[in-house]
Amino acid sequence: MANLINPYTFSQQEKSTITPTSPNGDSNSDFWNDEQFASLRSNIRKHYREEQKGACCYCKSNLSHTGPGNCEIEHIAPRSRYKNFIFEPKNLAVSCQDCNRAKSDVDTIKPSSNKKPRKRYPIASNSFYIVHPHIDRYADHIKNDGDFYIPETDKGRFTVSACKLDLRLHQYGYTGDSNFLELLALTSELAKKMKNGAEISPSIKQFERFLDGLK
Ligand SMILES: [Zn+2]
């Protein structure tokens, strides 16, 4: 699939500053925060903020328009685990502070088939556990309505869990029962089918099986 957001393009000057550290991966990942990369980080943030139309890549809430406060550069595959992808444009996006902090260093890349460390950045959707902002259409995996995030696929479930998107329901009394989210997903699916005039018998059966499982 074509890129959903355009990856950042490094200028020649920027390339010359990152070459010594990025491909070797022998440095502590904190070098990302070095002062020497301050303007680079600012350019990257600006680029993805525009590409993502000011919305967090994981929860779609509004990002701050200026400064890094609530518009953090997100390493989709965490930089602590994948030092060779720290400057990989397809591994970068912007997220809100809540999502970035919650996701932290959760691994998002599936192991390669030969179990060896990945040298090249994967581009296939099924190489990632997470809904990837460059590759996956968000709406195919998560139904979002206000503070409700209803996962509709395994990737959706992973993303809701990694970014703790269901925490936003706690303000309404949600206690963390995963059956609740499953029930929401089933209800949403049923409502969608009814709205579209689709056959709803399979969804009703699925509902009944789920309720039977709770007994
Ligand atoms: Zn977010």
List the one residue out of 91, 5, 3, 4 whose CA is nearest residue 47. 5
What is the per-residue pLDDT for 147?
83
CA–centroid distance, 176 to ligand 1, in Å, is 19
Task: Say what the pTM is.
Answer: 0.82
**Interaxial angle between packed helices 201-214 and 178-195, expressed in degrees from 0 to 180 and rounded to the nearest 10:** 160
CA–centroid distance, 103 to ligand 1, in Å, is 10
What is the per-residue pLDDT for 172?
82
What is the per-residue pLDDT for 28?
57
List the beta bridge partners of residue 62.
55
Q: Are the CB atoms for 156 and 148 separated by under 8 Å?
A: no
CA–centroid distance, 214 to ligand 1, in Å, is 32
Statement: residue 89 has pLDDT above 90: yes
What is the per-residue pLDDT for 54?
95
CA–centroid distance, 115 to ligand 1, in Å, is 31
3-state secondary structure of 30: helix
Q: Residue length, the chain?
A: 215
H-assigned helices in 33-149: 38-51, 97-103
Q: How far is residue 184's CA from residue 170's CA, in Å, rounded to a whole number?
A: 15
Mean pLDDT, the chain, rounded, equals 88
Q: How far is residue 105's CA from residue 207's CA, in Å, rounded to a whole number?
A: 35
CA–centroid distance, 135 to ligand 1, in Å, is 18
Q: Which band of pLDDT confidence, cut at 50, 70 and 90, is reported for residue 68?
A: confident
Residues lying with their CB under 5 A of ligand 1, a single-atom ion = 56, 58-59, 96, 99
Statement: residue 135 has pLDDT above 80: yes
DSSP 71: -
